[in-house]
Amino acid sequence: MQGLLRLMKSPSPAKENNGLKSISNGTTEKKAEVIPSKPKESAVTSDTKVSNADSPKAHKEAAQTQTTSSGGEIPKQSKRPFPENLNLSNLDDTRILQQTDALDIREQLLDRRDREFERRDRELDRRERELERRERELDRREREFEQERTRASTFVNGLPMTAALMTPTASTPPVAAELSARLEREVAELKTQFQKSLADERKRSETREAQLEARIQRSLSESLDKERQTYYNFMQMSDHEVSEMVEDTVGYLMEKDEDIADRVRFQSLLYLSQEKLASEAGINPDAGSGSLSVAWRLLLGPSLVTQDRLNKAQELFQDRKVSSQTTKVLQNKLAMEYVVEYSSHLRKEGSESGEQSFAPGRIARSAYLETAKRQSERSGLNYESLVTLVDYISPSS
């Protein structure tokens, strides 16, 4: 800025030998560099070219032009290339965006739980209406029973033997008196039986109703307790778990260059080792894939247990003549576990090159060994097993 002020205050700008050139890239400004001054139009043109050259589109066109001119094919771009010019001044904004995304995910889950609770409430209301309907059905049957009993009593009272059913008197014949007494006993027994049956039916109905209500309440309580426990477990998610979730998605953007390089080298080490083992085992790639590494991983499934996958991998090499290097890898259990794992300790998500770029010799042996040593000290990986894999794909000369 001071150089620019001096340039503006100078009476003859054309005689000055130095100028100020400022290049902006995003929100980060590079330091000013002193360059020879030129006419105004030339300076504007050069600034425009520099800013255009720094744009992603210019980088892409330059790479395509260079590859086309050399006569080769344009290589496929990686799915998630790691940034070459990492903007460290935006790390706070990145963290805020990550936390905002995590909170959005949590709010979506909470909305889904609320909708599930509303559905459970509607189910409870439906079951209550069903219980009320059964109570009305029970009342209707009781009324029908009372009507039947009344009808039976009316029928008995309307028999033609009404005179014989009357209280015996001195003028009543002995046969009529005996018949009247017997009919009275039968009517009393029938009435007692009706009352007993009604009481038993009422008791059974109350028992069934209580059992049904208890079963509904127990089922509803279990469902609500399960949902409540799930909801509490979700609400008690720690900040550490949220940080791990963010780290698994975009955390690689804040890593150092050496960590990103280690990820790419480990992925290359696994890819080449799996391809070489698949070739030794006589595995053919799937149609449309063309990758022996993918065919190797699919053939060891569907089990996710490392020991099961290791046993299946060892069965592939039974009664087969293999090289001494392959035999050395098969005899190293930890090295084989790294190669057959479903959730690999080495293959992590993040910035990576495509599998098409993992060609033998693309990464130097010294780079593999450097990564193996650094990660064995940091992550507790077995250094000897990693060196065995390095010797397998990149033997020492």
Query: How far apart are alpha carbons 330 and 3 in whole angstroms?
Result: 67
Give the CA dihedral 70, 76, 78, 81, nearest 10 degrees.
Answer: 30
pLDDT at residue 14 tops 80: no
Per-residue pLDDT tens digits for 263-278: 888 888 999 999 999 9
Per-residue pLDDT tens digits for 160-178: 544 444 454 545 557 677 7
Q: Which of 4, 5, 30 is nearest to 19 (CA)?
A: 4
Q: State pTM to two decimals.
A: 0.38
Phi-psi region at 26: left, alpha or beta (left = phi > 0; alpha = psi -120 to 50): left
Average pLDDT across the chain, whole number: 72
pLDDT at residue 384 tops 90: yes
Per-residue pLDDT tens digits for 91-148: 677 888 888 888 989 899 999 999 999 999 999 999 999 999 999 999 999 998 888 8
Q: How many CB atoms lie within 10 A of CB 353?
A: 22
Handedness of CA 124, 130, 136, 141 (dihedral sign): negative
What integer is the mean pLDDT of 198-202? 87
* Higher local confidence (pLDDT), 318 or 56: 318
Q: Which of 346, 193, 338 is nearest to 266 (CA)?
A: 346
Q: 169-202 b/e with 16+ CB inside 10 Å = b?
A: eeeeeeebeeebeeeeeeeeeeeeeeeeeeeeee
